[in-house]
């Protein structure tokens, strides 16, 4: 049997890759070293957060599993940056990690187009347009395309103090062989590092010495398929390191594989999720560091101390732990460790995440140098869809633009600029973050999801009606006026608002920062029977309409530049007015379009203007 798509790896990227391929009708096999560990939350037991929540919502609308799994397994929700503007607000959920992986496994195993098989893929070759994948146990599988989502398993090495050993995740073997298959094809290997903290027995923690972090019920779930709200939620807790913690860490740096005499870690770690050693070494002015204490499930047996990942020896880990308020008598259930693994330069991939060297090979997740469940899942979705399209040859590749999605921003970033450390998604990476905010994903991606068959007709119609309802509400508020009569101005004064001197539309009133739905009703009795989510989406569009319009104008300009194709043999060296440094950058990157050239570090708007001038000359 020849499969259309073979996915190697059962982590968050692999799940979405297999599901995405199956969603467009591709016969798919997922090869994993352990069926039981599919969907494992190897690090923190949470989904979403700043910019990551936006990724989850985009994955969900495009037919992915992550949003539904997060809602199914949620034990707490919080809306981050609620006091800030809508461009940076995002949902984050704590999850029961057992329920999460159970949901993910069930979603794959019940899909008739997906075959799940437990085996370690060790190599592949391409013959007559078909890949032959060889496994450690001697099986071979044939597939028209391959999606590699190996996570931290490729030549993985775990470090605990001076003790280092081969492992893909502690307690599981690393994967050996695939690295050579990829480097033989021309891909450039890089070595990266990440880490995780100890897990702690819940009954050994003194929560009275910590600040309680309750959940929130005023939120919109990740998935458009989720109804209702999680009313009963488990709290998280907040504590901090102490001066004793700092002393324990700094006095034992000599035993650290990062800083010690026998420095054994060479891979680059994530800048934005540093180990506790890095925090005390690189930020000596900080008196203490926050630790978020997160339950790993409804049972509350184990807790995850977010903020103290380390690779120090286990006996030092105990001392470190006991120096923190609430952890004085804490009992670890699993040790902290660092892990090094092979990844590959994502500049060797196209925007569809297909290899430049071997058509039909796609890479997604940590193997591309990214960090985080959400980043991996988003890449897996895109790679799986494109692998399926490649195999079925039904339509053009599925490409998400950076002007329409956070997924597009991430893939554009890593494939055009590469990475020099594990890449993490932030709102600051999106130039048009008000236009690609958390609460307008259907407006941005619904039509594309429908065109590619990633959403069923019933759901499409429901979401389309919601968008039309929002537009109708905005139109109603734009065309409904309030007049400066005595009762209205008395109401304005009661809300500490300046009185009206002339007729004013409801939408103009709503643009005032301190006026919302309740205030409008008090002022003029304006009432709408729409639900809170619909109102919130309409309110953002009105309050920030000026900013959104300016962003949309800039987006249109960028899209025009995207259509300016740069010939692959374009002679950059012939452009006068560009420095030799900029010429060399353009020659090295060979951008396909002017918009890609804009993403190259150091390329200025003035340089782009000169490039466009020469391109137009060539056309004439």
pLDDT exceeding 70 applies to what percent of the chain? 99
pLDDT exceeding 90 applies to what percent of the chain? 78
Predicted local distance difference test score (pLDDT) of residue 554: 82
Nearest to 301 by CA among 325, 336, 331, 264: 331
Q: Is the pLDDT of residue 106 over 90?
A: yes
List residues bridging with 342 in a β-sheet: 191
Contact call for residues 389 and 24 (beta carbons, < 8 A): yes
Average pLDDT of the segment spanning 464-488: 95
The rounded Cα 597 to chain-centroid distance in angstroms is 24
Question: Which secondary-structure segment (H or E) carries 582?
Answer: helix 580-589
Half-sphere exposure (CA, 13 Å, Cβ side) for 94?
25
Q: Identify the DSSP state of 42.
A: -
Q: Distance between CA atoms of 93 and 4, rounded to whole angstroms?
A: 35
Average pLDDT of the segment spanning 611-620: 74
Q: Identify the DSSP state of 104.
A: H
Q: Distance between CA atoms of 191 and 585, rounded to whole angstroms?
A: 24
Contact call for residues 57 and 443 (beta carbons, < 8 A): no
Q: Which residue has the tokens 């869809």?
A: 385
Q: Identify the DSSP state of 498.
A: P
Residue 314 pLDDT level (bands cut at 50, 70, 90): very high
Predicted local distance difference test score (pLDDT) of residue 435: 92
Q: Identify the DSSP state of 270.
A: P
Q: Distance between CA atoms of 561 and 447, rounded to whole angstroms?
A: 23
Residues in the chain: 620
Q: Is the pLDDT of residue 105 over 80?
A: yes
Nearest to 89 by CA among 469, 558, 359, 437: 437
Three-state DSSP class for residue 91: strand
Per the model's pLDDT, the better-predicted residue between 11 and 565 turns out to be 11
pLDDT in tens, 128-145: 999 999 999 999 999 999
Predicted local distance difference test score (pLDDT) of residue 619: 59
Give the CA distances from residue 446 to residues 132, 440, 449, 454, in Å, rounded to whole numbers and listed in that order.
Answer: 36, 10, 5, 9
Q: Is the pLDDT of residue 592 over 90?
A: no
Residue 258 pLDDT level (bands cut at 50, 70, 90): confident
Predicted local distance difference test score (pLDDT) of residue 379: 98
Residue 206 pLDDT level (bands cut at 50, 70, 90): very high
Predicted local distance difference test score (pLDDT) of residue 620: 52
Q: Is the pLDDT of residue 216 over 60?
A: yes
Q: Is the pLDDT of residue 458 over 60?
A: yes
Predicted local distance difference test score (pLDDT) of residue 391: 97
Predicted local distance difference test score (pLDDT) of residue 272: 72
Residue 546: burial class (beta carbons within 10 Å; 0-12, 13-18, 19+): exposed
Q: Distance between CA atoms of 131 and 269, rounded to whole angstroms?
A: 33
- Cα of first residue to Cα of last residue in the chain, in angstroms, is 53
Predicted local distance difference test score (pLDDT) of residue 617: 74
Q: Is the pLDDT of residue 372 over 90?
A: yes
Average pLDDT of the segment spanning 523-534: 90
Residue 195 pLDDT level (bands cut at 50, 70, 90): very high
Average pLDDT of the segment spanning 102-121: 98
pLDDT in tens, 166-176: 999 999 999 99
Name the phi and psi angles at 114, rounded to 5: -115, 125
Predicted local distance difference test score (pLDDT) of residue 390: 97
Q: Distance between CA atoms of 540 and 538, rounded to whole angstroms?
A: 6
Tell me the DSSP string of 140-209: EEEEEEEEE--TT-BT-EEEETTEEEE-SBTTB--B-SHHHHHHHHTPPEEEEEEEE--EEEGGG--GGG
Burial 126-162 (b: 16+ CB within 10 A, else e): eeeeebebbbeeeeebebbbbbbbbbbbbbbbbbbbe
Q: Distance between CA atoms of 412 and 123, rounded to whole angstroms?
A: 29
Q: Is the pLDDT of residue 601 over 80?
A: no
Q: Distance between CA atoms of 172 and 190, rounded to whole angstroms?
A: 22
Q: Identify the DSSP state of 164.
A: E
Q: How many CB atoms lie within 10 A of CB 94?
A: 29
Q: Identify the DSSP state of 285.
A: T
Average pLDDT of the segment spanning 465-480: 96
Contact call for residues 101 and 297 (beta carbons, < 8 A): no
Sign of CA dihedral 358, 361, 362, 367: negative
Question: Which secondary-structure segment (H or E) carries 390?
Answer: helix 373-392
pLDDT in tens, 55-87: 999 999 999 999 999 999 999 999 999 888 888
Q: Is the pLDDT of residue 609 over 80?
A: no
Q: Distance between CA atoms of 467 and 462, rounded to whole angstroms?
A: 9
Q: Which residue has the tokens 């951008």?
A: 591
**Residue 28: both structure tokens together:** 């798919």
Instruction: For the chain, give the longest Cα–Cα distance.
Output: 86
Name the phi and psi angles at 189, rounded to 5: -80, 140
pTM: 0.92
Predicted local distance difference test score (pLDDT) of residue 605: 67
Q: Distance between CA atoms of 130 and 128, rounded to whole angstroms?
A: 6
Residue 618 pLDDT level (bands cut at 50, 70, 90): low
Average pLDDT of the segment spanning 345-362: 95
Average pLDDT of the segment spanning 179-190: 95
Q: How many CB atoms lie within 10 A of CB 585?
A: 19
Contact call for residues 52 and 106 (beta carbons, < 8 A): no
Q: Is the pLDDT of residue 289 over 90?
A: yes
Predicted local distance difference test score (pLDDT) of residue 261: 61
Instruction: Write down the mean pLDDT value for the chain.
Output: 93
List residues bridging with 80 in a β-sheet: 90
Q: Identify the DSSP state of 235.
A: -
Predicted local distance difference test score (pLDDT) of residue 614: 84
Q: Distance between CA atoms of 118 and 105, rounded to whole angstroms?
A: 13
Residue 262 pLDDT level (bands cut at 50, 70, 90): low
Give the CA distances from residue 417 to residues 314, 381, 599, 600, in Å, rounded to whole numbers and listed in that order.
Answer: 38, 21, 7, 6
């Amino acid at each position: 049997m020849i499969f259309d798509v073979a996915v190697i790896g059962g982590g968050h990227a692999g799940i979405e890759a297999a599901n995405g391929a199956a969603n467009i009708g591709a016969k798919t096999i997922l090869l994993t070293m352990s069926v039981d560990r599919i969907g494992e939350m190897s690090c923190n037991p949470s989904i979403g957060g700043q910019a990551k929540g936006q990724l989850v919502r985009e994955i969900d609308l495009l037919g992915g599993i992550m949003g539904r799994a997060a809602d199914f397994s949620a034990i707490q929700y919080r809306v981050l940056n609620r006091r800030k503007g809508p461009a940076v607000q995002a949902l984050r959920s704590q999850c029961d990690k057992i329920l999460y992986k159970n949901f993910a496994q069930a979603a794959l195993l019940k899909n008739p187009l997906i075959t799940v098989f437990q085996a370690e893929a060790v190599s592949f070759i391409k013959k007559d347009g078909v890949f032959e994948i060889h496994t450690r146990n001697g099986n071979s599988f044939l597939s028209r395309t391959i999606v590699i989502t190996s996570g931290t398993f490729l030549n993985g090495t775990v470090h605990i103090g001076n003790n280092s050993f081969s492992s893909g995740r502690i307690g599981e073997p690393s994967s050996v062989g695939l690295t050579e298959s990829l480097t033989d094809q021309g891909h450039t290997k890089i070595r990266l590092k990440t880490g995780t903290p100890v897990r702690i027995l819940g009954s050994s923690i003194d929560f009275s010495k910590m600040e309680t972090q309750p959940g929130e019920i005023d939120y919109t779930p990740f998935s458009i398929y989720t109804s209702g709200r999680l009313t009963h939620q488990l709290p998280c807790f907040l504590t901090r390191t102490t001066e004793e913690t700092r002393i324990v860490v700094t006095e034992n740096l000599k035993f650290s594989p990062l800083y010690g005499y026998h420095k054994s870690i060479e891979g680059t770690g994530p800048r934005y999720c540093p180990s506790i050693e890095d925090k005390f070494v690189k930020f000596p002015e900080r008196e203490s560091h926050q630790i978020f204490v997160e339950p790993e499930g409804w049972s509350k047996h184990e807790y995850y101390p977010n903020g103290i990942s380390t690779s120090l020896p286990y006996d030092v880990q105990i001392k470190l732990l006991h120096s923190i308020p609430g952890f004085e008598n804490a009992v670890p259930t699993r040790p902290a460790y660092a892990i090094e693994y092979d990844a590959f330069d994502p500049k060797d991939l196209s925007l569809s995440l297909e290899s430049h060297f071997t058509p039909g090979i796609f890479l997604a997740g940590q193997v591309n140098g990214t960090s985080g469940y959400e980043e991996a899942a988003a890449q897996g979705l895109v790679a799986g869809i494109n692998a399926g399209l490649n195999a079925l040859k039904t339509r053009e590749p599925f490409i998400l633009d950076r002007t329409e999605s956070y997924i597009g921003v991430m893939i554009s970033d890593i494939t055009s600029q590469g990475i020099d450390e594990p890449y993490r998604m932030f709102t600051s990476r999106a130039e048009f973050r008000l236009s690609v905010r958390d609460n307008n994903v259907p407006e941005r991606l619904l039509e594309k999801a429908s065109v590619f068959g990633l959403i069923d007709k019933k759901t499409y119609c429901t979401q389309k009606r919601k968008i039309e309802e929002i537009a109708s509400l905005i139109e109603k508020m734009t065309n409904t006026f309030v007049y400066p009569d005595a009762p209205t101005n008395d109401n304005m004064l009661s809300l500490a608002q300046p009185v009206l001197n002339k007729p004013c539309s409801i939408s103009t009133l709503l643009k005032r920062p301190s006026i919302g739905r309740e205030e409008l009703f008090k002022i003029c009795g304006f009432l709408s029977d729409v639900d809170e989510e619909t109102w919130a989406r309409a309110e953002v569009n009105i309050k920030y309409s000026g900013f959104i319009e300016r962003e949309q104008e800039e987006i249109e300009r960028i899209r025009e530049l995207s259509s300016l194709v740069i010939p692959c043999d374009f002679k950059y060296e012939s452009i006068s007015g560009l420095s030799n440094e900029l010429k060399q950058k353009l020659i090295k990157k060979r951008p396909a379009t002017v918009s890609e050239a804009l993403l190259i570090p150091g390329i200025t708007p003035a340089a782009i203007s000169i490039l466009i001038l020469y391109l137009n000359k060539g056309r004439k």
